[in-house]
Structure 1
Amino acid sequence: MSRLQSAVPPSLPLRERAARPRVSKQTRRDRDRAVPRDAAASLRP
């Protein structure tokens, strides 16, 4: 169990740790929005 807990930074409060899986949907939206920006930046030299 200690290994799994060590994977999460201790600075995060318990609420944020529990909310992480729920936030996954929101993070996916943010990633989708950022995809075109990252793609355009990667195409530029």
Structure 2
Amino acid sequence: MLRLLQRRFGQLPDTISAKVMEAKLESLDVWSDRILDANTLDDVFAS
């Protein structure tokens, strides 16, 4: 997940890296789907 986010959006803030590292599998699944259409990191992590 971190690698995909970095490839899509460049250098990640530490807060985003920590959020991903601490996330549950369900959240990772949702976020990984959103990477495909997101224009920003905020789009990926929107509620």
Asked if Structure 1 and Structure 2 have the same fold, meaning a TM-score greater than 0.5 normalized by the shorter chain, the answer is no
> Per chain length, whose mean CA-contact separation is higher, i.e. which structure has more relative contact order (CA < 8 Å, sep 6+)?
2
TM-score scaled to structure 1, two decimals? 0.31
TM-score scaled to structure 2, two decimals? 0.30
Indicate the structure with greater helix content.
Answer: 1
Bigger-Rg structure (1/2): 1
